Chains A and B, each alone.
Chain A
Amino acid sequence: MNRIPITLLVNGEPYSLAVPPNKTLLEVLRDDLELMGTREGCGVGACGACTVLIDGVPARSCLTLAVDVQGLSITTIEGLAEGDELHPVQEAFVERHAIQCGYCSSGMILTAKALLDKKKRPTKDEIKRAISGNICRCTGYAKIEDAIATAAKKLATPSK
């Protein structure tokens, strides 16, 4: 298949690649950029495990063609921490036991970050609705919702 040259801006780094037009962003992230934190759960956009942020908005990378996101800013889970310092949302997920098997965590954390970028103090209901496109089979969501509320508080208070 013919390949199309594209430049992707992932976690602030530009990557020049030549990709087949039918290759998904998920495949490019995992196969070409070796960013394995973006995970495939269903391949049909139902579970949210493959969620990345495109210009700050949560998107299913399994349903997104790589050639369609040229020039847009893509954030994957690997782009959240600063060095060894986890992002407050990641920290809250760890502290509040919002992670069990961890397979949904990347997508869940990015979805939560996008919510908190938009909404500093989301209500419980807003949190529930924000993550309703991300399936977690382990936690029953309670600790995830708790972690997001905790992260909101962390983000509101200037860091240590």
Chain B
Amino acid sequence: MTEASLIGKSMVRSDTVAKAAGQALYTADLKLPRMLVGKVLRSPHPHARILNIDTSRAERLRGVKAVITGRDGHGVKWGVFPYTQDHDMVPTDKVRYIGEEVAAVAAVDEETALEALSLIDVEYEPLPAVFTIEEALKEGAPLVHDQYKNNINVHVHIEVGDTQKAFKEADIVLEDTFEAAGEMYGMLEPYAVVAHYTPDGYLDIWMPNAGPHVRAKALSNLLKMPLNKIRVHHINSGGAFGGRSEISPGDFVTSLLAIKSGRPVKLVYTREETSIATRQVHDIVARIKTGARKDGTIIAKEFKVYYNGGAYSSTGPIATSIPFYVYEETYRLPNLVYDGYRILTNRPIRGMYRCHGRAFLAGNAMHMDKIAEELGMDPMDIRLKNGIRAGETTATGSKIISCGLQDAIKAAARKSGWKKKRGKLPPYRGIGMGCLAIMCGFPMGFRSGSSAYIRVNEDGDATIVSGVVDNGQGNESMMVQIAAHILGIPMDSVNLVCSDTEVTTHDPGAYSQAAAFVTGNAVRLAAEDARDKILTAAAQYMKVDKTRLALKDKMVYLKDDPEKAIKLTRAVRYAMSKGQHIQGYGTYIPKISFDREWVKNPYGQMAGTFSYGTSIAELEVDPETGIVRLLRMVVAHDCGNPINPMAVEGQLEGSVAMGGTATILEEHVWDGGLQLNSDFLEYKMPLSVDMPDIDTILVRSMDPEGPFGAKEGGLTISMSAYKAIANAFYDATGVWLKEFPYTPDRVLKALQAKEKGRR
């Protein structure tokens, strides 16, 4: 149809006026009558048996309304999968990391709550602890959980082709180990929860989250309450980046306090608590062996990848797999063996991150460049040669239905001046490239789909009801834009009711890049259904054939005679008078393999579609100080078709900060089980002055399944920017720096080692 198109236009986001005005509410802003302040008592030990907890003195303190320990729970442990249910959100047997929840109080004010914490007596028997992957794997090492032998929490084994034979046939074989320290999510909003339990047994709860429906289900399991008595409400979220996907111990604690006190309770984490007691990023060690033919074709890969998983499973099987999958979705890999091990340690809880897997992914990128160098190939050409294309199937069996990888590589190369610069820049200046694919939605079984409905009112405005959630990326606005476009009404004529679990439809959440492709399709179908109903009514009213009608500017008009038109309101009212209310319904589930399982059967269709991207980094290394300065990043991302181009650009630019600039700055530093940089003074996140110049390029592959051809918008850059930096560092220095981040100490050590080697 030829309506005024809103798709592909940079529209003002529907949520940002309130945010600019300071009127948008976040969880910590909520105030309910009689609300109490919650505080958590945390373990000072990395590993200790809990012998006794005496809360009687705290309970007697004036102003204290509830004290809870693990005994107030139902003994149900959290885990994303039946075989990983090991996280007692307030443990009763032993603590497994410094900062773990031991007890909590709700009191009339913060001072009273803090004083009450000091009155709780806990007797611990300290136990030997393990902190690093090596320590945890040592023969006879203390076990974090008895059921995980050798502290191996998850082992993902994937085998394709005949790898040993392929290595024998390879002309080049490389083997290296790459390491990366885990990062901090660093969402600017500290974690916060508000919970209220009503006397008739309903729990209302607010927290920043990236999947309200999955959050409600987890709470329903842990609190042994029916799902329809738990209502996760809509609230703005101050960033997620993968870190708000799962239930947090804070949700459970606040719920217990609200249930026990019978009053609303607000728990706001300090920044330090947010760093220590909400999930952060895995340390990773990746051993990678690569075999290639003389013509640059990669024919064999062998991976042994270790993830420091902290004390509990979390999304373990997924976290242990994703770096591999995003790699196999990018390149043809005929023969491979992947062994991913998630190792439990007495470090805090770990989860999935927007830039997850930098040791593994950057390692593979360095191998690709090494091979190119040995063969005298341009790193761009080896990527074009091995890059997967639409119509092909990945190693583990995902069919690729659209792929802009070749275009992304070429566009980024052109824009960056690649041919003129690669290998030709002055000493200590370099340029490098990295590519990546990402699935638009994880396979989540029956939870993989989304549905939506849309009502069109008698005034011609519309209301969407969707489970979509927005953590800042613009998902809410995207749904409004899709519906407004289809219904031919302005965006500000559309209201979105979302992410409230008792009102809205099911949705997989926003943490697996599903919003554009999955939720967007559900909203598209709902709007198309509503449009069809409007046109049916208008056709009856106007006594014309429905196929001749279209919607634009709140009018229904004849496509072949636009002068003949009626107001949208007329059509809606006419329909209503016939008892045909304008309510559209849409539901979409991606075409994935339902028999695929992360550990037991890691083969089959992973996602409905995949997006593709390329990062090119140009940087400068100061050999005196070891400081790496990013000069320019050119990033090209195939999002199928951008629904709101400026919003997609924003995702790419944010990815350059988090996946790029972070490569020279960010890591959590430890003394055993004690995190040494939990605040924003000690943990260095990119500031405006650390950022390079950024060029963003949107590649349009027009996905055949995506809404208006759209796919996920930006994650390929979060996970390829560091690849580009690793290769640019080599171009600048001649050193393969295999340890992340590229801080001055690591850089100087590497440069000095190279000097020594030369002498």
Contacts and interface: CB of A to CB of B under 8 A. Distances in A.
Contact of A97 (B10, B680, B685, B689): B10
B375 interface: no
A101 B472 contact: yes
A132 B259 CA distance: 44
B188 A86 contact: no
B698 to A, nearest CB: 14
B186 interface: yes
Contact of B188 (A81, A103, A129): A103
Chain A interface size, under 10 / 10 to 19 / 20 to 34 / 35 or more: 35 or more
Contact of B21 (A30, A81, A128, A138): A81
Contact of A93 (B20, B188, B691, B694): B20
Contacts of B656: 140
A4 B188 CA distance: 32
A130 to B, nearest CB: 8
Contact of A40 (B23, B28, B236, B241): B28
B187 A43 contact: no
A17 interface: no
A53 interface: no
B367 to A, nearest CB: 28
B13 interface: yes
A159 to B, nearest CB: 17
A101 B190 contact: no
A141 B655 CA distance: 11
A39 B26 contact: yes
Contact of B689 (A42, A105, A128, A143): A128
Determine which residue in B19, B25, B186, B190 has the highest number of CB atoms from chain A within 10 A of its CB, and name it: B19
A97 B650 contact: yes
Nearest to A125: B689
B208 to A, nearest CB: 9
Interface string A115-145: 0000000000001110111111111111111
Contacts of A141: 653, 657, 686-688, 691
Determine which residue in B189, B236, B658 has the highest number of CB atoms from chain A within 10 A of its CB, and name it: B189
A78 interface: yes
Nearest to A36: B29
Nearest to B652: A140
Contact of B20 (A34, A46, A109, A138): A109
A40 B190 contact: yes
B188 A100 contact: no
Contacts of A39: 26, 28, 188-189, 238
Nearest to B648: A97
Determine which residue in A96, A103, A136 has the highest number of CB atoms from chain B within 10 A of its CB, and name it: A103
Contacts of A103: 26, 187-189, 238-239, 472
Contacts of B271: 41-44
B694 A140 contact: yes
Contact of A138 (B18, B270, B654, B694): B654
A47 B226 CA distance: 41
B679 interface: yes
B473 interface: yes
Nearest to A106: B22
Interface of B: 10, 12-13, 15-26, 28-29, 31, 186-190, 236-239, 241, 270-271, 471-474, 646-647, 649-650, 653-658, 661, 679-681, 685-689, 691, 694
13 contacts: A39-B189, A43-B270, A86-B17, A94-B20, A100-B472, A127-B688, A129-B689, A135-B188, A135-B680, A138-B650, A140-B661, A142-B653, A143-B646
In the A-B complex, the 7 residue pairs with the smallest Cβ-Cβ separation, listed nearest first, are: A37-B22, A101-B472, A102-B19, A77-B22, A103-B238, A140-B653, A46-B680
